[in-house]
Chain A
Amino acid sequence: MTQRAAIVEPPPLDSATAGAATNAGGRRLSRGRSATSLTAASGLGLGVALLWFSLLVLIPLTAVLVQASEGGWSAYWDSLRSPQTFAALRLTVGQAILVTVVNIFMGTTIAWVLVRDHFPGKRVLEVIIDIPLALPTIVGGLVLLSLYGPSSPLGVNWANTPIAVFLAFLFVTLPFIVRTVQPVLLELEPEVEEAAASLGATQFTIFRRVILPSLAPAIASGAALSFCRAISEYGSLVLLSGNLPYSTEVASVRILSYIEGDKLTEAAAVASILLIVALIVIVILDVISRRVARYA
């Protein structure tokens, strides 16, 4: 990156290409800002973009929070504490935590195998990792039902049980940690591991002391995404979990039945929990990517 480019480029947004675009000059000289401040045309563009973004996303999501506060704090807490809603929230959060823990272990392992191991058919596995995210969620439910439902060739029938919720969450969150860890693992220098090995470190020690610390931010980002996706899941559960109150009913289904019963304030109260978790996850991801960019 030349000095000239550094003058006109605004500071980078995140870790993705921070290394390429950031140098001391970029940070210092961007104070001048002559070339990066808004012109009349780009200002108009920003206005139009913000208007659309507000109409589509910001105003509707604000409406959820406003609607949730309609009945005041006591009504808000009462709707969250109603036994059926509380059971749904507990099931959702519990299973989401469990699935995230499994993903931390399996996602890191899958990423490691995809990067460090070489065997025929590995390219196919690359595609298979992303299938759960690419499939429409309702099809995802149908897919799981075929192996774990009433006509399972395995002889199990986990449909309409809490295990179905766990499986659905596990399915839809499969790619997150794999895809955040994989690029970091690709960038790791094997020389460091070789040095550790030559100094007598065991394989487990190398993994724990050398590889794991570098992967930690990526695992954390993936875990945050995975948790967030799990608690907000709906489509894959419709056909699979039976949506039985106190047993397999998750938060999203609870919101939906409130909407169908025209209880919008109660629906918004539960929705506000999911929305707040989503906001927290967005902030966590932003902080992690900035921290990684700074130390990169």
Chain B
Amino acid sequence: MRKGAAPQTATRWGLRVLVVGYLFLLVIWPVLLVARATFAHGLAPVINALRQPEVIFAFQLTLSAAFWAVVINTIFGVGISLLLVRYTFPGRRALNALVDLPLAVSPIVVGLSLVLVYSGRTGWLGGSLEQAGLQVIYAPPGIILATAFVSLPLVIREVIPVLQEIGTEQEQAARSLGASALQTFARITLPAIRWGLLYGVVLSLARSLGEFGAVKIVSGGVAMRTQTATLLVEERYQQFGIENSIIAYAAAFILALIAVIALVIVTAFRPDKGTPR
């Protein structure tokens, strides 16, 4: 409970009803309707749908692509955050602004840009990579690249403020007492940024599991080969038949559930955001 120039009751109630009504119509009611549609025929068809080989494959592919994208983004994100906060170098400000670019660019543009560079047929680098035996586009490496691209800034945006806040005194002390750079990082810096890093990882994971547009372009979406969970939802929803529709809703429900769990984790544990307490 903090500050609050209490406004008149009528205004307050008016705004409260407006906000709750708006959120109810835009988010709450539609989300509840999807949950209801998923279980319209009971639990058994949903479980059955989730055990189809195509569905299992799609979720496995999504999970493994998301895993690698998050690993890459975590290592890259912590490294670039340390460089941006602790060092000065020419172009630092430009780099700081540019790392946000993946969040601002359309997923479709992301997919197109990767195809232009990594496509085996016409890409700048794709031809040579394919000769070296690495197919990127229409294959899992392309899915990982697209996923890593769209979730790239999330770890960085969580870690940078923490690094700025903790300062360098402890790191300096450790170094002056003879700790190596690696020891200092493992014993001092990493424990200090662990919560920020965890939020970044959770956000990246949620974003990676749900990526659709960029993955659609680079993967081709072939069932049992390059079809991720979100692509499966699209394909099955557009096909006729109650079975396909149940599969689409069941997969969408699982994706939504993961997203909401990630959101609750981040909201519940993040200390500096949300309501004052």
Residue from B2, B101, B113, B211 within 8 A of A64 (CB atoms):
B113
Proximity bits, A262-273, B CB within 8 Å = 1, else 0: 001001100100
Cβ contacts B1-33/A at 8 Å (1 or 0 each):
111110110011001101110110111111101
A264 touching B16, Cβ below 8 Å? no
B260 at the A interface (CB under 8 A):
yes
Of A10, A30, A134, which contacts B263 at CB under 8 A? A134
Q: Are A117 and B15 CB-contacts (below 8 A) given A46-B89, A146-B33, A256-B108?
A: yes
Tell me which of A52, A252, A259, A278 contacts B115 (CB under 8 A): A259
Q: Contacts A110-B22, A123-B275, A256-B108: A138 and B212 contacting too (C-beta < 8 A)?
A: yes
CB nearest to A253 among chain B residues: B108
- Check B86 for interface membership: any CB of A closer than 8 A: yes
Complex alpha-carbon distance, A241 and B86, angstroms: 47
User: Chain A residues with Cβ under 8 A from B61's Cβ?
Assistant: none
In this assembly, does A286 line the interface, its C-beta being within 8 Å of a C-beta of chain B?
yes
State how many angstroms separate the Cβ of A114 from the closest Cβ of chain B.
7
Please report the C-alpha to C-alpha distance between residue A259 and residue B148 in the assembled complex, in whole angstroms. Answer: 21
Q: Shortest beta-carbon distance, A219 to chain B, in Å? A: 17
Q: Does A137 contact B (CB under 8 A)?
A: yes
In angstroms, Cα B124 to Cα A67, docked, is: 11
A268 near B112 with CB under 8 A, answer yes
Instruction: Report yes or no: A13 in contact with B116, Cβ–Cβ below 8 A.
Output: no
The residue on B at minimum CB distance from A196 is: B5
Contacts of A52 in B (CB 8 A): 72, 76
In the complex the two chains form, what is the Cα distance from A11 to B96 in whole Å? 13
Tell whether A74 is near chain B: CB-to-CB under 8 Å. Answer: no
Q: Which of B88, B111, B118, B230 makes the CB contact (< 8 A) with A10?
A: B88
A94-B96 Cα distance, complex, nearest whole Å: 31
Q: Contact between A131 and B83 (Cβ–Cβ < 8 Å)?
A: no
* Contact A239-B217, Cβ < 8 Å, known A57-B152, A67-B116: no
Among listed B44-52, B186-194, B251-259, interface-contacting one: B251-259
> Which residue of A has the minimal Cβ distance to B274?
A126
**A60 touching B164 by the CB < 8 A rule?**
no
**Contact, CB under 8 Å: B112 / A255:** yes
Question: B84 interface residue, CB < 8 Å from A?
Answer: yes
Q: Using a CB-CB cutoff of 8 Å, which residues 171-203 of chain A contact chain B?
A: 171, 174, 182-183, 186, 188-190, 193-194, 197, 203
Which A residues are CB-close (under 8 A) to B206?
Answer: 134
A225 to B100, CA, bound (A): 11
Query: How many B residues are at the interface, by size bracket?
Result: 35 or more
Assess whether A49 is in contact with B168, with CB atoms less than 8 Å apart: no
Give Cα A182 to B216, complex, Å.
35
Is the C-beta of B149 less than 8 angstroms from some C-beta in chain A?
yes
Partner of A114, one of B37, B96, B112, B275: B275
> Counting CB contacts under 8 A, is B85 at the interface?
yes
Contact between A137 and B213, CB atoms less than 8 A apart: yes
Interface centre among A110, A148, A170 (most CB of B within 10 A): A110
* Among A15-23, A79-87, A157-165, the stretch in contact with B: A15-23
- The CA of A278 and the CA of B102, in the complex, are separated in Å by 9
CB neighbours (8 Å) of B93 from chain A are: 13, 286
Given A106-B22, A239-B238, CB of A57 within 8 Å of CB of B101: yes
- When distances are taken between beta carbons in the complex, the residues of chain B under 8 Å from A167 are 26
As a 0/1 sequence over residues 4 to 15 of chain A, the CB contacts with chain B under 8 angstroms (1 = contact) are 110011111110
**Residue numbers in B under 8 Å from A129 (CB-CB):** 23
List the A side residues contacting B124 at CB < 8 Å.
Answer: 59, 63
B259 CB, min distance to chain A CBs, angstroms: 4
B167 interfacial by beta-carbon distance below 8 Å: yes
Is A232 engaged at the interface, CB distance under 8 Å to the other chain? yes
Interface residue from B95, B98, B212 paired with A136 (Cβ < 8 Å): B212
Q: Is the CB of A275 within 8 A of B7?
A: no
Q: Do residues A174 and B26 form an inter-chain contact, with CB atoms below 8 A?
A: yes
Report the 8 A-B pairs with minimum CB-CB distance, sorted nearest first: A136-B210, A232-B106, A60-B113, A146-B33, A278-B104, A63-B116, A235-B212, A147-B30
User: What 7 additional pairs, Cβ within 8 angstroms, besides A20-B165, A50-B95?
Assistant: A4-B169, A38-B89, A126-B275, A147-B33, A148-B30, A232-B109, A268-B116
Q: List 21 A-B contacts (CB under 8 A).
A: A5-B168, A9-B168, A53-B76, A63-B113, A109-B19, A112-B15, A116-B5, A117-B15, A135-B255, A139-B34, A143-B27, A143-B31, A146-B34, A147-B29, A148-B30, A153-B33, A167-B26, A228-B104, A232-B108, A268-B116, A271-B109
Residues of chain A having any CB pair with chain B under 8 Å? 1-2, 4-5, 8-14, 16-17, 20-21, 30, 33, 36-38, 41-42, 45-46, 48-50, 52-53, 56-61, 63-64, 67, 106, 109-110, 112-119, 122-123, 125-132, 134-139, 142-144, 146-148, 153, 167, 170-171, 174, 182-183, 186, 188-190, 193-194, 197, 203, 206, 225, 228-229, 231-235, 238-239, 251-253, 255-256, 259, 264, 267-268, 271, 274-275, 278-279, 281-283, 285-286
